[in-house]
Amino acid sequence: MNRNLIALVLIIFAFAGIRSQTPFSFNDLMNVKRVGDPQLSPDGKTVAFTTGVVNMAENRVLTHIYTVKIDGSDQKQLTTGERSHSSPRWSPDGKHIAYTTGGQIWTMEIDGDDKEQVTKISSGAGNPVWSPDGKWIAFNSDIYPECNSDDCNKAEDDKAETSKVKAKVTERLLFKHWNEWRDRKRTHVFVVSSKGGAATDLTPGDFDSPPYGASTGADYAFSPDSRELVFLRNPDKVEAISTNSDVYTVSLSNKIQKNITVTNKGYDASPVYTADGKYILFRSQPTATFEADRWRIMRYNRSTGETVELTRGFDLQPDNITVSPDGRTVYFTAGERGKSIIFSVPVEPDLRLRSATFVKPVITRGFAGDLNVTPDGRTFVFSSSSMIAPAEIWRVNADGSGLTAITRGNNGLRLSNAEELVWKGALNSSIHGFLLKPTNFDPNRKYPLIVLIHGGPQGAWNDNWGYRWNPQIFANAGYIVFMPNPRGSTGYGQKFVNDISADWGGKAFIDIKNGVADVIKRPYIDKTKIGAAGASYGGYMVDWILGHNNDPRFKFKTLVSHAGVYNLESMASTTEEIWFVNWEFKGMPWENPVNYQRWSPHRFVNNFNTPTLVTAGELDFRVPVDQSLQLFTALQLKNVESKLIVFPDEGHWILKPQNSEFWYKNVLDWFEKHLREG
């Protein structure tokens, strides 16, 4: 090796060493490969999955489909080009993969060859599901309910596109959702030959399938004999005040529908057939209008019509249902204390036994999702991430041994470990959360503290990876980051969840304040430099702090409110899912004004004096932008230092890469100004 080559090698290694010592930044976050949606082949030997890569110049994430052997070998990229490809789904014989691109369903051979377009429907197609016999593919499409042909739908779209009048007209509620106007359109389930051709609407009528709020994606499935399909719809007249998502079956031959959960008025979701066709399993909530109620796994007997609960006595939230190949066991994930654990329950437990619960933990490590089981039932394949590791595809033996990463797309990141904390909150209850330090942490220094408050309020900070509100960005900008899970957080039992309703600024506020008071006892935290930030309910809590920043133990020096609920009385009639405010505050403002007046931050404007950055998306229909505008107006009129940033092309979340960069920069600059300068 000549001297010049040796010098070049040394420079490369030196640069790599410097890069590895550089704290994690926004650019690093955007360079993370977004691995997800693992789908195990029918023979259990190969995993199809997606990987998204950020293109900052084009302001988007480009997603493509890959396969990899279950042992991690022979990774292949199956799709290319400038259009994203997603939702890979194996055909039952394992010879083809269905997927979505350009708003249509396609199929390809498992080596990526012979790509064929299956749907050519003007209203678009997504979420493909194969029939067990391989002859059909079910999918979702947004259509005009009065239309009975694709030509009719196209004509209506063309008329709306070419008209100079852009007025929005509606005669019902739930006419908008998250960040889109729904106008007259409804989501329906269609079926099409896997070889292509005309599609058939299996759920005609003026309703959505799946309904808003209940859906986790493709909430429909074929029976083992491919003659029937199970799906969701809400039969109630005013959907905006109802969580009554029911499970229906429909015959592919005569299109007759049957409601199998007609007596349950809460959410029903995630239906799936057992392999022998004897049962339909689904998740269910018993309480009407309460979207954060305890989820149960139910078993419906197709012959007798009997429905029983399989998860009685289990006090967490089942998700991600999958049935073992032998049909004897239901596997699912559930959040517990910031983790997502794999559990099991028998399909046919002896219900005569007085067992506290038939549910048993299987894999208690990590944050599992997208659960798959090999045909022999011995191995799980799933996605998993943590605060120090972006999502990858993993496998583990059913006994918990042999945990191995199948993909390794994001090695070499320098990240901060999360420390788990427990402290005493309101009513002397134990409260749990996380603490992150900078990667170059020096115990002899004093650091400012940033408190991140999660949304929901029935949500949680978990030990998983995220792109919005990524705590590594804040920690590695030189802050200690505290992430409390106060009352209302999921993963701590249903009573803990329930305790937030009609008490938004009560016990949860005490839980957070007591956590901050406990954290600042650490000698490396400067208790004179504390900031807080949050979105949605987290933004509500920031707005609440503005009017109640009077704890004798510490003061918040600055605040950041994103999409925060500021005026409960006005938001009740401008948010789209009215069942939410109905439950949380026990009616609408004219029905029960006490709860709204007691817990609305806007009633405490006279106490506002903390510098506050306000951010929002103009397309946010969950917490409409007027909430942030009202807050900023009050801050300005009270002569409180404040700044407003509104993104006209974003909804509840700031998702576009360049907007995300702008948001992170402004938030960090705000904290730099108020917690570090001077």
Cβ–Cβ < 8 Å for 64, 51: yes
Looking at 274-403, which runs of residues are DSSP E strands?
279-284, 296-301, 307-309, 318-323, 329-336, 339-346, 360-363, 368-373, 379-386, 389-397
Sheet holding 136-143, edge to edge: 126-130, 136-143, 186-193, 200-201
Sheet holding 612-617, edge to edge: 418-424, 430-436, 480-485, 447-453, 525-535, 558-562, 612-617, 642-647
Q: Kindly compute the dihedral angle of the four CA atoms of residues 518, 543, 529, 551, in this order, to the nearest 10 degrees.
A: -50
Q: Cβ–Cβ contacts within 10 Å for residue 76, how many?
A: 14
Helices (H), 548-601: 568-571, 578-584, 593-599
E strand or H helix at 63: strand 60-69
DSSP class per residue in 423-484: EE-GGG-EEEEEEE--TT--TTS-EEEEEEE-SSSS----SS--SSS-HHHHHTTT-EEEEE
Cβ–Cβ < 8 Å for 232, 220: yes
250-253: long-range contacts, CB 8 A cutoff, minimum separation 24 = 250/202, 250/203, 251/227, 252/136, 252/191, 252/202, 252/226, 252/227, 252/228, 253/227
Cβ–Cβ < 8 Å for 20, 414: yes
Report the catalytic residues: 536, 620, 652
Tokens (6 digits) for 462: 């978990």
Tokens (6 digits) for 307: 């429905």
Cβ–Cβ < 8 Å for 153, 147: yes
E strand or H helix at 67: strand 60-69
Tokens (6 digits) for 513: 């304040």
The CA-to-CA distance between both ends of the chain, in Å, stands at 54
- For residue 400, CA distances in Å to 51, 332, 364 come to 27, 15, 8
Tokens (6 digits) for 570: 């006005």
Cβ–Cβ < 8 Å for 277, 302: yes
DSSP class per residue in 253-287: TT--EEES-TT--S-EEEEEE-TTSSEEEEEE--S
Phi, psi of 568 (to 5 degrees): -60, -35
Interacting residues of 123 by C-beta distance below 8 A, sequence separation 6+: 141, 142, 143, 150, 153, 154, 157
Pairwise CA distance, residues 652 & 505, whole Å: 22
Residue of 133, 99, 134 lying closest to 116 (CA atoms): 99
Q: Cβ–Cβ contacts within 10 Å for residue 273, how many?
A: 24
Pairwise CA distance, residues 534 & 628, whole Å: 13
